Amino acid sequence: MEKIDLDNLDSIPFLVTRDVYTKSYFDGETFSVLALNIFTYLSSLISLGLAFPFTFTFEKEYEVSHTFINGRNLYFDGRSHQLIGKYILHLLLSIVTLGIYSFKLNINVTRWTYKHTYDVSKEVKEEYFSLLDSLNRKDLSDKEIKEVTSKKDILEKNYDIRGESKFLPNFIPNFINNIISKIITIITLGVLYPYALCYRQKFVINNTLIMGKRLKFIGEWKSLFKKYIYWYLYVIATFGIYAFIVNIKIKRWVSSNVTYLNDKIIEFNAN
């Protein structure tokens, strides 16, 4: 594995500031996303849901690796073997509780996903948390503590690292928000789906930290509603086939409206 030269980090030209010139986006190819969605759906269907840990991590790795927030590429290092034990436990507890415990699956999977999502390279992330682990050791001398702290501070400065990645809400607030968004969609027969989507995304994204930096959702449902009506007409005209494309377009729209809370996006024209 490639090692980070901590003694030369100050010379690295990529320094994150609060002024950002690159927007957020999702650059996954339409055909690839469609193929991936079909594969994960059929795999879960054929396996009666048992393949979920494998298909979910496979899909998430592709999705996250093609997502950029203010120009910074996200990475996902979650592996199916980390999820499979938790998933089997959820299935067993759901059976014992007659399905009641299944409601916790959503938030637990969301927490696990964001815990394994970051916006620096794998080498930088591993080096950073290795330094944090070193600082928790009790056998370090004062000199060693000072050296480790200095290296940690350099990484934090050069890569804008402020802590761990995590999803903050507890079960009840997340459950209520999720239910409300679904109810809005159902009672309006899908007409206000853009509003429900923004309501849900604002809750999820605004309560998420990536390497200690809080995210912010800036999308407005009215701007999505205009696009949604246009897409909906295409779905009708294609007898539902275009619905697969709509899901991808919504993914792109959501990704383009995610930023870091303290970042300021500056518009400019390149000459």
Provide the pLDDT for residue 264: 63
Positions of E strands within the chain: 19-20, 25-26, 67-69, 72-73, 75-76, 117-118, 166-167, 208-210, 213-217, 258-260, 264-265
Tokens for 91? 């299935």
What's the N-to-C CA distance of the chain in angstroms?
40
Tell me the whole-structure pTM to 2 decimals.
Answer: 0.83
Q: Sign (positive/negative) of CA torsion 38, 50, 170, 93? A: positive
Dist. CA 56–CA 53, nearest whole Å: 5
How many other CB atoms are found less than 10 A from the CB of residue 29? 10
Provide the pLDDT for residue 100: 80
Dist. CA 193–CA 199, nearest whole Å: 10
CA 206 to chain centroid, in Å, comes to 12
Each residue's pLDDT tens digit, 108-134? 999 999 999 999 988 888 899 899 899
User: Per-domain residue ranges for the chain?
Assistant: 24-120+161-260, 121-160
Dist. CA 59–CA 52, nearest whole Å: 10
Amino acid at 77: D
Reported for 220-229, long-range contacts at CB under 8 A and 24+ positions apart, including other chains, are: 221/194, 221/195, 221/197, 222/194, 224/194, 224/197, 224/198, 224/250, 224/253, 225/194, 225/195, 227/253, 228/193, 228/194
Question: What are the counts of helices (DSSP H) followed by strands (DSSP E) for the chain?
Answer: 10, 11
Q: Kind and range of the H or E element at 56?
A: helix 52-65
Q: What is the three-class DSSP state of 67? A: strand
Each residue's pLDDT tens digit, 83-93? 998 888 888 88
**What residues of the chain score a pLDDT lower than 70?**
1-21, 263-271
Tokens for 212? 């200690």
Q: Sign (positive/negative) of CA torsion 171, 249, 33, 65? A: negative
